[in-house]
Amino acid sequence: MHPNALLELVAELVANVLKLDAPADAAVSAFFRQHRNLGPRERASLAETVYAVLRERLLWQHLAQSGSGPMPRRLAILAWRGSESFLRSALTPAEGAWLDQSRAIDRSTLAPKLRHNLPDWLATPLLARLGDDEFWRLAAALNEAAPLDLRVNTLKAKREAAQAELAAAGIQAVPTPYSPWGLRVDGKPALNKLDVFTSGAVEVQDEGSQLLVALLAPKRGEMVADFCAGAGGKTLAIGAAMRNTGRLYAFDVSGHRLDALKPRLARSGLSNVYPAQIAHERDDRIKRLAGKLDRVLVDAPCSGLGTLRRNPDLKWRQSPESVAELQAKQRAILASAARLVKPGGRLVYATCSLLDAENEVIANEFSAAHPSFTPLPAESLIEPAMLCEGGFLRLWPHRHQMDGFFAAVWQRQD
C-alpha cells in the first residue's frame, strides 16, 4: 500500500477511536473487518499507532496544535509506530520539518499532565497514595505496552513442556516470576493456530489474574463459584486447579460473555464447569445455592484502570461518576455472593482497578457490615509478601510487571 494511503487510514482509525463511544479494541477489530486487504505489518502499524495516541493523548494533542492539516493526521504522524522511512515517504516537506521540531522538544520541561497523560481525577488519588517518585514510575509503566502472559493448563501440559513447544515454534517464553502456571512471551506472536494453543495446553491470561486463583486456592471435589465469570479466563484456571473434580459454577449476567467461554471450555478438557446466565445478583439460582459453596470468587465489574497498558482508552472513557456507579454494583454483588459461602468457606473479592475507592473502601465496608466474615491476611495465603499491602493482595504494573489487581479474602465463621 502507498505510504500516504496507509497514513490516511491510520488517521481515519484515530478519528474513530477518539470518539470514545466504544472500547478501542472493538473499534480496531471492526476497522480491520472493513479493510481485509491490510497485511499483518500494516495492521500492526495501525493498531500500535492508535494505542500510542491513546496512551499519550494529552501530549500528542498539545504538540499537534503547532501543525497544520486534519488533527487526526497530525496525531497519527506524532504517535506513529512503524517503519520510520515508510512514514517519511508519506509526509510533505512541511510535515517532515514539523515532526522534527516536535521530537526535539524536551519533554521534561512540559507540564506534569503532558508527561503523565492521566486525567486529573485519576492522577490526584494515585499521587496521594503513592507519593511523587512512585507515582511517576507508575505513570511511565502505564504508558508501556504490556507483555503477553500465558497460563499453562496443567490438565494438558507441564509448564516446561509448553515452554519447549513454544520454543519449537520460534516463540521465546520464560516462566512468570510469581504464578506457578504462567509463561511470559516477548512481543505479540500469533498463537491461535499453534497446536499448543488449539489443544488447550495454554490460554492467554495475565499473571495477576492467575494469582487471584492462587488466593482462592480451590481444592479437589469442592463446590466453587466464579460469580462474575465473563469470558471465563479465571473459571478455566479454577477448574484446572480443582483437577477437573467437584462442581464449578460460572455465573454472569451476560450471555454474550458466557458464549465466549464455550470454545475455551471445549479446548480446556474441563467437565466440572457449569456456565449459567443470571438475571441479576439476586437470581433464584443464587438463592438455591445459599450457604452451600466452599469458595466464591467475585471478580467484580470495575473501572479496569489496572489494565491501562492494554486498554489505554479506559482512562478517557471512565469518570468519577462511572466509578461511583461501579461502587454501588460492587457493594451489591459482593453482599449477594457472600450468601453462597458455607461456614468455614472462603470468599475472595477482586478488581483490576488501581483505585482505593473500588478496592480497600469496598472491602472494609463489607467487613464492617458482615461480622460473620473474618478477613484473612493475604500475605499468609500467597508468597512473596511484597505482593500484599495492608492485608490485601495489591499488584502494581510498575512494581510487579503485571496488570494492577486487588483482592481481599474472608472466611465465613460458623
Non-local (6+) Cβ contacts of 196 within 8 A are 157, 162, 165, 166, 169, 202
Residue 309 and residue 285 in contact, taking contact as beta carbons nearer than 8 Å: no
Nearest to 251 by CA among 213, 306, 301, 303: 301
Helix axes of 207-216 and 233-241: crossing angle, nearest 10 degrees: 50
- Out of 228, 302, 352, 388, which one is annotated catalytic? 352
Q: Residue type for 64, please?
A: A
The size of the chain, in residues, is: 414
Q: Respond yes or no: is residue 352 known to be catalytic.
A: yes
For residue 4, give Cα distances in angstroms to 20, 37, 82.
25, 16, 13
- Residue 278 in 3-state DSSP? coil
Ranges of beta strands (E only) in 232-328 are 247-252, 273-277, 293-299
Question: Three-state SS for 220?
Answer: coil
Strand partners, 174: 184
Instruction: Tell me how far apart the alpha carbons of residues 175 and 405 are, in angstroms, rounded to a whole number.
Output: 20
User: In which residue are the cell numbers 457449569 written?
Assistant: 274
Phi–psi pair at 373, nearest 5 degrees: -105, 115
Residue reference for cell 461511583: 324
Closest CA to 299 of 401, 376, 380, 406: 406
Residue type, 198: T
Terminal alpha carbon distance of the chain: 68
Can you tell me the distance from the alpha carbon of 124 to that of 118, in angstroms, rounded to the nearest whole number?
9
Q: Packing angle between helix 40-55 and helix 24-34, nearest 10 degrees?
A: 150
Cα separation, 270 vs 371, in Å, equals 36
Active site residues: 352
